[in-house]
């Protein structure tokens, strides 16, 4: 029995010894590994220390900055070769941030400007019929405005006493064949033409009959009818005005900011709600040289054929103007442009986690793209998503400031002496605000 107890005790002691030996070996190995492998940061080259609040101010050793902030080191591998405006982000961080990039393309900026418009008469197809001589409207074939007429249809029959003498003279000379008579007959015929008679009406004249028929010179509608049947009118008085409908104008007011790519000849499409599914195609006839001071819009005039008279003046329409800058520029997505208020920048991805802040000059924006007038070239890869996270993660704001101030010329300062840092410090311009001392933490130079 005693032998069994002794064996159990020996076994327990042996197990305890083995456990103790294993624990001691593990602790010693970990201690040696810890003491023999310095932190990775000890092998990285430190260029300078800086205050995170004032990154453009550099110091040559650690400690507290004049602002009372603990300074942090700037490593050489974080600067991408210490080039101004370049920052480095760990590729794993870039992946976690969901950074997306795209290649800058060179192309004209195409824009579709959609604006409301109004259908109007084409004044070049407007005709006013006036009395050539003092005459009487014996009969009117059109009785009200907006009556539709076709070319050649009778509009009115008029009686003109002044035509009687000319008509009688012409008929008297009609059968005379002498040279003088032919000259007089030609003069009488010309006089009748001046009075407004056509060759057919002159040929159909009867002796002493001075009645003629006024006919429509164009297809259209009666726009104005200031006279009535039986009325006597003086020479030169307007009898009626006809407006043609074979062509109409469409007038659109385009905002001043969108007028740049629009010129005569720019293709357009017009739609009206009263004709669903119907699309009228044409082009800009003119961009009128006048800006409305109240709305800051410029009027664009469009001429459309209207052979079936489907478009009526006064209709509301929608115009799609397919404008183009014509000149090819680097195009970037709108979301890639960072506007800081003082400047506009784009983040260029240079590979291996290196990013450069590039100042650019922007032009027009359309369809989600912005034209870059200067600062970028075709084929460069830019950041389109996550650029603001890059700014936060890598202190890109400091890189942007160094881009303006010039990182290479930035002087390095010595940190304040320990005795000075132990004193109560305050921010410039705020003497009542004490700053933290070394007791709050930090390195002594």
Say what the pLDDT of residue 425 is.
44
Checking if the pLDDT of 262 tops 80, the result is yes
Checking if the pLDDT of 74 tops 80, the result is no
The CA-CA-CA angle for residues 282, 285, 288, to 5°, reads 140
pLDDT class for 398, splitting at 50, 70, 90? low
CATH of the domain at 170: 2.40.50.100
Query: Which ranges of 62-203 does DSSP label H, i.e. alpha helix?
Result: 91-97, 162-172, 179-194, 199-203
For residue 174, count other CB atoms closer than 10 A to its CB. Answer: 14
Tokens of 352: 């291996």
Q: What is the C-alpha to C-alpha distance for residues 177 and 77, in angstroms, rounded to an integer?
A: 114
Last residue of a domain, one of 195, 219, 243: 243
Tokens of 130: 């006036």
Name the average pLDDT for the chain: 77
pLDDT class for 168, splitting at 50, 70, 90? confident
Asked whether residue 195 falls in the same domain as residue 293, the answer is: no
Asked whether residue 220 falls in the same domain as residue 259, the answer is: no
427 assigned to some structural domain = no
Checking if the pLDDT of 28 tops 60, the result is no
Last residue of a domain, one of 268, 293, 326: 326
pLDDT class for 222, splitting at 50, 70, 90? very high
Length of the chain: 445
The CA-CA-CA angle for residues 47, 391, 49, to 5°, reads 20
Say what the pLDDT of residue 210 is.
53
271 assigned to some structural domain = yes
10 assigned to some structural domain = no
Asked whether residue 193 falls in the same domain as residue 134, the answer is: yes
Tokens of 96: 């976690």
238 assigned to some structural domain = yes
Say what the pLDDT of residue 441 is.
40
Structural domain of 320: 112-122+245-326
pLDDT class for 255, splitting at 50, 70, 90? very high
pLDDT class for 388, splitting at 50, 70, 90? low
49 assigned to some structural domain = no
Residue 326 φ/ψ region, left for φ over 0, alpha for ψ in the -120 to 50 degree band, beta for the rest: left
If you compute the radius of gyration of the chain from its CA atoms, what whole number of angstroms results?
A: 46
Say what the pLDDT of residue 392 is.
54
Asked whether residue 116 falls in the same domain as residue 259, the answer is: yes
Lowest mean pLDDT among 102-116, 184-198, 245-259, 322-336: 184-198
46 assigned to some structural domain = no
Query: Mean pLDDT over residues 43-72, rounded?
Result: 79
pLDDT class for 15, splitting at 50, 70, 90? low
Checking if the pLDDT of 433 tops 60, the result is no
Q: Which residue has the higher pLDDT, 209 or 62?
A: 62
Asked whether residue 295 falls in the same domain as residue 272, the answer is: yes
Asked whether residue 228 falls in the same domain as residue 302, the answer is: no
pLDDT class for 432, splitting at 50, 70, 90? very low
Q: What is the C-alpha to C-alpha distance for residues 62 and 77, in angstroms, rounded to an integer?
A: 19
Asked whether residue 195 falls in the same domain as residue 249, the answer is: no
Total number of domains in the chain: 2
Say what the pLDDT of residue 414 is.
52
Asked whether residue 186 falls in the same domain as residue 261, the answer is: no
Say what the pLDDT of residue 180 is.
77
Say what the pLDDT of residue 297 is.
95
Asked whether residue 253 falls in the same domain as residue 305, the answer is: yes
Specify the pTM: 0.58
Checking if the pLDDT of 429 tops 80, the result is no
CATH of the domain at 249: 2.40.30.170
pLDDT class for 440, splitting at 50, 70, 90? very low
Contacts of 295 (CB under 8 A, 6+ apart): 253
Last residue of a domain, one of 326, 343, 374: 326
Which span out of 55-59, 167-171, 229-233, 348-352 was modeled with the highest average pLDDT? Answer: 229-233
Checking if the pLDDT of 247 tops 80, the result is yes
pLDDT class for 191, splitting at 50, 70, 90? confident
Asked whether residue 256 falls in the same domain as residue 310, the answer is: yes
- Read off the pLDDT of residues 287-316 as tens digits, 9 standing for 90 and up: 999 999 999 999 999 999 999 999 999 999
- Read off the pLDDT of residues 75-126 as tens digits, 9 standing for 90 and up: 766 554 445 567 777 777 677 777 889 999 998 888 889 999 999 999 999 9
Asked whether residue 251 falls in the same domain as residue 118, the answer is: yes
Asked whether residue 215 falls in the same domain as residue 268, the answer is: no
Lowest mean pLDDT among 20-34, 189-203, 236-250, 425-439: 425-439
269 assigned to some structural domain = yes
Query: Mean pLDDT over residues 425-438, rounded?
Result: 43
322 assigned to some structural domain = yes
Q: H-helix or E-strand containing 267?
A: strand 267-271
Checking if the pLDDT of 445 tops 80, the result is no
Lowest mean pLDDT among 124-133, 229-238, 318-327, 386-395: 386-395
Checking if the pLDDT of 386 tops 80, the result is no
């Amino acid at each position: 029995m005693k032998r069994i107890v002794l064996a159990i005790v020996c076994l327990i002691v042996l197990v305890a010894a083995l456990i103790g030996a294993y624990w001691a070996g593990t602790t010693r190995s970990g201690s040696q590994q810890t003491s023999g492998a310095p932190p990775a940061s000890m092998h990285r080259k430190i260029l300078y220390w800086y205050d995170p609040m004032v990154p453009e101010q550099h110091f040559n050793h650690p400690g507290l900055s004049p602002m009372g902030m603990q300074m942090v080191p700037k490593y050489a591998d974080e600067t991408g070769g210490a080039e101004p405006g370049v920052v480095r982000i760990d590729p794993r961080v870039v992946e976690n941030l969901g950074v997306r990039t795209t290649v800058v393309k060179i192309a004209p900026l195409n824009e579709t400007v959609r604006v409301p418009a109004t259908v109007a008469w084409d004044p070049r197809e407007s005709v006013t019929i006036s009395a050539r001589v003092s005459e009487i409207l014996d009969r009117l074939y059109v009785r009200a405005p907006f009556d539709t007429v076709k070319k050649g249809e009778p509009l009115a029959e008029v009686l003109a006493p002044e035509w009687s003498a000319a008509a009688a003279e012409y008929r008297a000379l009609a059968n005379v064949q002498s040279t003088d008579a032919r000259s007089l007959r030609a003069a009488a015929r010309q006089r009748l033409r001046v009075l407004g008679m056509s060759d057919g009406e002159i040929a159909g004249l009867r002796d002493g009959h001075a009645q003629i028929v006024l006919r429509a010179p164009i297809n259209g509608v009666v726009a104005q009818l200031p006279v009535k049947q039986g009325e006597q009118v003086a020479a030169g008085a307007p009898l009626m005005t006809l407006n043609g409908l074979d062509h109409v104008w469409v007038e659109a007011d385009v905002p001043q900011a969108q007028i740049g790519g629009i010129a005569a000849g720019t293709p357009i499409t017009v739609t009206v709600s009263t004709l669903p599914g119907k699309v009228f195609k044409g082009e800009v006839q003119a961009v009128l040289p006048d800006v409305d001071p109240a709305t800051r819009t410029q009027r664009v005039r469009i001429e459309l054929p209207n052979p079936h008279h489907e478009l009526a003046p006064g209709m509301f329409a929608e115009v799609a103007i397919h404008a183009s800058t014509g000149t090819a520029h680097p195009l970037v997505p709108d979301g890639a442009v960072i506007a800081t208020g003082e400047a506009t920048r784009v983040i260029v991805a240079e590979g291996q986690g290196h990013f450069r802040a590039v100042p650019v000059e922007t032009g027009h924006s359309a369809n989600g793209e912005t034209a870059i007038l200067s600062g970028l070239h075709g084929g460069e890869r830019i950041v389109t998503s996550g650029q603001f996270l890059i700014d936060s993660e890598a202190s890109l704001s400091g890189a942007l400031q160094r881009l303006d101030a010039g990182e290479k010329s930035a002087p390095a300062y010595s940190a304040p002496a320990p005795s000075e840092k132990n004193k109560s410090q305050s921010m410039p311009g705020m003497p009542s605000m004490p700053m933290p001392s070394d007791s709050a933490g930090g390195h002594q130079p």
